[in-house]
Structure 1
């Protein structure tokens, strides 16, 4: 079987779970072509991500002439399909002229991509936003069945605006990464379509699951692995750190990641007098992330909106308990047996949970870590989940 994967940007620092899924699908005997709409991240700290560069074809790296020529040839060769796809592209814009223009560009991309899928029996997109739109248009142009994986929270913030029901309606299958995610898809489909909604969970890198157990950390060290963006709740984390300092609770917090809020977060750290207690490392490769997690007694992620963060799986696989929020798919993996789950947006609850993590004795941390690791190994094995995805493609 030959399958094509389509992602908005691939490879990317935050999309390593897609790389692992592709590897699992290939291990199950499926040939996978890789397509990225936009050029990959300029900086890829992980060697495994860099290895994907020569295997990936970037649509917008093609010349404008090549893209427009593909659209013209498609329109002349298959006028009926082209007009149908054009109507669908405009329909997905939901009556918004600027968005309609963007979807016409998606149609041009789809015309080019459809001509590169010889022998492909399934096109699979990650994310229900523009990759799913392009995949749907490829299907309308060529008849090649498509599926897509919905992660959240973007798709759930405005499902009507991205015409999620239409994308689901034409898809052969739609995958969610959690039961919560599937329930949100059920909201936007009729019960007779629920059978096509599947759960395929993200998987962790084998380097996280195969490490020899390490004793719990005695130092007052916490870490947060996150993109420095609004949905991760990091300003709240800095406020909580200031409250810990005010209570004379010793700690050090390391933020691993980068993003559009870095300058704002750095300013908050300085303004609250936390320069000696909070460190930002920027992006690290997988080995660097493992090192930071293993140096911490708990990983903290106070997100406001999520799907189900892979970094929580990685921390638990390393037997590191987590402090996180009761949102989206997180409670399917984390509860009091392996972490501290707090209401999103509550700085008071976050402070108490962080204080409890800092006060926990080694035996408690060890027991929590073992529970978390067991759950991750049972549910988030990348190879097993890739094989499950391959079976769905074959079905």
Structure 2
């Protein structure tokens, strides 16, 4: 599928935050997440903080254990309680006890259980726990991030509790070749609305699902623009920066090859890669085989504040994303948003939604993926032309301000929540 360039105007039916504050949700909203917190999912914390700043009361449901040691610096500002839902149930009696609670406590619980025929025992048990918490605590809507296990549980829990749900589909959950089907069309059909984070994703899903994508809208992930205040552009030095997990879809092997070619042509460029992942040994071997130990550093994971400092002082951010052999790919890497907000010039590739953000020659430089020569030439061009860097810095920040302000984008999401809750209350009154 070809990449899509679209205008700044919102091209979907996503609601805009209205002047009469109709996006105020009457009741709590529950966020259902596979793991919380997760270092790579800064957008989740940013979104939650924006909702809380607007007065929305939230609870978080985490379905799996935390596996990381590094977290976002602003995580401590989140006020929402975190409910860690058990994901191991030792005996059949445990599950039967939960089923009985759902039958006796939840409105229409037995009928809802009877209608569910596509759930695993673990998903069902977790959904019952979430549904009982919603019933007890006045949670009127659930929102999940990623269309996999978190949306599976949110969908079941909403059905059991008689409330609505929505979810945001990002990238891997859309494109990865999972062993088990994601049932994306069914999840969209049952949801009050489904969100995706780029126009590219939206077009792909509309083509794939046809009428089944009618509830899908595009709302970009956003940033707190006060936190990511612009840094004056300074064209100095030859160090470039890359940030991300050390996995195939990030394309860091292509970047290392581009650096090798630049060095072979006499460039003094050096590269710092921040992140950790399964490809570390492979990348380290590539660096050693190319005799680039003095040119490329693998710095491991760093706290978000340290990443921001690195973005502020680097010559450019390079984000050489590729399509993985397993279908996995990035949607819109958050680090690109962060770099452009700070005024750091960016070089990236022409896959998925990236060209909506990195518009070649306008807000950044965008090259074909898996093309180390094109990547090397873009890096060299930016290093040699400070005026270009200044122009890209200015235009990048302006684009972020127009399309990626978390306060506006989170308000659009709350409008979806409010409309879903209001429609559900009208429906329930009609049934009664």
The normalised TM-score by structure 2 is 0.82
2:369 equivalent to 1:350? no
Q: Which runs of 5+ in 2 are unaligned?
A: 1-25, 323-328, 420-432
Q: Residue 327 of structure 1: CA displacement?
A: 1.0
- Residue equivalent to 2:159: 140
**Closer/same/farther in 2, CA of residues 193 and 363 from structure 1, 3 Å limit:** closer
Secondary structure of the corresponding residue to residue 210 of structure 1 = coil
Q: What does 1:157-196 align with in structure 2 at a 5 Å threshold?
A: 157-158=176-177, 161-191=181-211, 194=214, 196=215
> Would you tell me which structure has more helix in proportion to its own residues?
1
2:256 equivalent to 1:238? yes
List structure 1 segments (4+ residues) > 4 angstroms apart after TM superposition.
50-54, 61-67
C-alpha contact (below 8 Å) 2:344/2:393 kept by paired residues: yes
Question: RMSD of the alignment, in Å?
Answer: 2.2
Q: Which has the higher contact order (CA 8 A, sep 6+)?
A: 2
2:398 equivalent to 1:374? yes
- Residue equivalent to 1:60: 86
Secondary structure of the corresponding residue to residue 324 of structure 1 = strand
C-alpha contact (below 8 Å) 1:236/1:302 kept by paired residues: yes
Q: Residue 207 of structure 1: CA displacement?
A: 5.2
Distance 1:23 1:59 in 2: 22
Distance 1:261 1:193 in 2: 35
C-alpha contact (below 8 Å) 1:177/1:199 kept by paired residues: yes
**Closer/same/farther in 2, CA of residues 311 and 322 from structure 1, 3 Å limit:** same
- Residue equivalent to 1:96: none
**Closer/same/farther in 2, CA of residues 10 and 350 from structure 1, 3 Å limit:** same
- Residue equivalent to 1:104: 121
**Closer/same/farther in 2, CA of residues 52 and 25 from structure 1, 3 Å limit:** closer
**Closer/same/farther in 2, CA of residues 241 and 67 from structure 1, 3 Å limit:** farther
- Residue equivalent to 2:365: 340
Q: Residue 374 of structure 1: CA displacement?
A: 0.3
Q: Residue 157 of structure 1: CA displacement?
A: 3.0
Q: Which runs of 5+ in 1 are unaligned?
A: 90-102
**Closer/same/farther in 2, CA of residues 193 and 354 from structure 1, 3 Å limit:** closer
Give a deviation string over 1:42-101, Cα, whole Å, max 9, x none: 41343322555983111137875796332343357633321322x132xxxxxxxxxxxx
Q: How many residues align?
A: 378
- Residue equivalent to 1:274: 292
The normalised TM-score by structure 1 is 0.89
2:337 corresponds to which of 313, 320, 324: 313
Q: Residue 36 of structure 1: CA displacement?
A: 1.0
2:61 equivalent to 1:35? yes
